[in-house]
Structure 1
């Protein structure tokens, strides 16, 4: 198999055509603000502490390491719901177990470029993925055509391709190179490194199927044998025969087509949808078999991403966007359909 391991996002097709508008993102961390919304309300009691921490220019693992140092716990005892960009201002939740009767002077802690916003007790550990949404406030600067950007924003409201963003693949596709070596027989002892490689390869294959649907003009079309996902839910169902009712539900945003996260078992498409996916994945059978050998559980993911509560405020040749995305979706997948942007953080260091 030959995989183009250059920065991957540029090789996949645009839904609305490559934008001619240019802009800059992340000129400063305050131009990329992310707030986590948990999928539960903290109980206020229990043996676990939830800490909401605002960090600027630091990655999630750095803050987790500092919490381990300050508490005397092991790194693996510190949990969080998701990774957040380093080159941003983010507010996210961390968790660790701490005896109810044991004092913790967290008000005296110092973590570089970070501050603790609140601490609350909860009855269970914070799990990875325990998010309802991420809320974004993004400021685009040096926009070549602000009026044209606002016009294109109206297209974005109907949804964009739910691509995995370039953060998933590492600098210049490094995680994909690692995955290719892994499936060729390289042993990777470190569990986290191996997990990054496996995750990157699955994400790459998902993007390949999504790309095929765009190229074949069926991104916003229900196919015979498709598996659809209910909006705002992980629930999926198979479509034996596409009809006008289902097509209208897709148009209304009530359901979305899905593509596979390759692995063991999981729901499978049939008929027209199966033919499309088999063709898209045919060159990558070594990776597909490798993911099964590593016993990753197969799953489905929506191919369409609709930004919620989308607003735009114009100030000169800058625009500030606010919107919410479901957990696991990438803001850069929204931005790439809006403008051909330059990432201001690139000159500083690589993406997290």
Structure 2
């Protein structure tokens, strides 16, 4: 497969068992389109103007700087909900103080187009989005591979995907987490606050991905082998293994799992594993994984045994993250005359479309 970045640079475990599908995927404005889904409807009145903009070949930061310079606004006064890919066509919403309305109306740029505007009461804040809709075009797809992709999409529609952080999280060379680890261990000093935080966030993300990959691997072993063999390989009690094998979903929930209602809700301990695993299969709730830190809820029992290896208390702030997500509104279209396979889907905020593609084409 040819691509701009290695989608699985850290050798994360896939949960689907098909062989690699050799196609062409490149992140560019024609083959990768991201459309932000706002968290709420905008009011139509207020001291901020919400601009729906379309950008190409620019990061969100670059686009915001161009807009700020053009209209004479301070960068910090522009609100946005999330950062969007540079190597894509992206549509998102930003907020600008109403005093710049005249300059907004006359703004032009070859890589940024203002599609519509509406007034709103508040500045848009980070995280104020429901999710994102993606359009992706894969090229050099044979008829046989198109069928394999369709089969993979069918399983993803039923079971979802591991909610790994994408390669974008780890920097251009995929090694920002190594600098974060060095900062945590005291072997690297980084005086620039924003860079230090970026490296630490990358290390937290790496630990989460590593934990999730291990759990996917264990789940695959549970599905593939008899209880006695699993006891020897993983060190789990045979009664527990039988419980886990009975779970319909390919990601096996463990006793003591910290769950969250899906797509949002409170975090709680899974008391009745059989009941909660059934609700997980029905997309009503999902297990969560740890972004380590001093102030964060910790799982219990067997789930905590598999989590503690990745729990570094040296981070100030930790969090729980969905271990699994369910792509929604999945549609696909195979253009045999061009050997193109086009697909679209939505994901909740914080999830990566590149991980959907990685799971599909391995």
* TM bracket (short chain): 0.7 to 0.9
Asked if residue 261 in structure 1 is aligned to residue 285 in structure 2, the reply is: no
Once the two structures are superposed, residues 252-277 of structure 1 have per-residue CA deviations (whole angstroms, 9 ceiling, x without a partner) of 12111110111222221110101111
In the aligned structure 2, how far is the partner of 1:205 from the partner of 1:261? Answer: 7
How far apart, CA to CA, are the structure 2 residues paired with 1:18 and 1:193? 39
Q: 1:48 Cα shift?
A: 1.6
Contact 2:39 2:129 in 1 (8 A): yes
Residue 328 of structure 1 corresponds to which residue in structure 2? 350
Over 6 Å off, 4+ runs: none
| 1:117 aligns with one of 111, 115, 118 | 115
Q: Partners of 1:137 and 1:260 in 2: how far apart?
A: 30
SS of 1:45's partner is coil
Structure 1 counterpart of 2:269, from 238, 242, 245: 238
Contact 1:8–1:173 under 8 Å retained in 2: no
Quote the residue 2:254 is aligned against: 223
Question: Can you list the C-alpha shifts for 1:88-118, whole angstroms capped at 9, x where unaligned?
Answer: 110011123233xx65232322223110011
Structure 2 gaps of 5+ residues are 1-5, 220-243, 245-249
TM-superposition CA deviations, 1:49-82 (whole Å, max 9, x none): 2111101111101111012102322222222111
- Normalised TM-score (structure 1): 0.86
3-state SS of paired residue (1:173): coil
Q: Give the superposition deviation at 1:187.
A: 3.5
1:249 has 2:271 as partner: no
Alpha-carbon distance in structure 1 between the residues aligned to 2:268 and 2:193: 33
- Taking structure 2 as the reference length, the TM-score comes to 0.83
Aligned residues between the structures? 322
- Residues of 2 paired with 1:11 and 1:274: CA distance? 23
- Alpha-carbon distance, 1:19 to partner: 3.5
SS of the residue corresponding to residue 172 of structure 1 reads coil
| Paired residue secondary structure (1:46) | coil
2:239 is aligned to none
Alignment CA distance shift 1:183-1:201 (3 Å): same
Deviations for 1:276-332, whole angstroms, at most 9, x for unmatched residues? 1113x2xxx6xx2331xxx22x22111112110101101012111111000010001
Where do residues 30-179 of structure 1 align in structure 2 (5 Å cutoff)? 30-99=30-99, 103-144=101-142, 145-157=145-157, 158-179=159-180
Give the CA deviation at 1:36.
0.3
Q: Hey, what's the Cα distance between the residues in 2 that align with 1:311 and 1:179?
A: 38
Contact 2:7 2:354 in 1 (8 A): no
Give 1:246-325 correspondences, 5 Å limit: 246-279=276-309, 281=310, 288-291=312-315, 295-296=316-317, 298-316=318-336, 317-325=339-347
RMSD, aligned CA: 2.0
Q: For 1:203-238, what per-residue CA distance to the aligned partner results, in whole angstroms no more than 9, with x for missing partners?
A: 111111111211111762222111111111142211
Alpha-carbon separation, structure 2, partners of 1:162 and 1:255: 14
Query: Take 1:8 and 1:315, find their aligned partners in 2: how far apart are those partners?
Result: 27
Higher relative contact order (CA 8 A, sep 6+): 1
Shift in CA distance, 220/184, structure 1 to aligned 2, threshold 3 Å? closer
SS in 2 for 1:314: strand
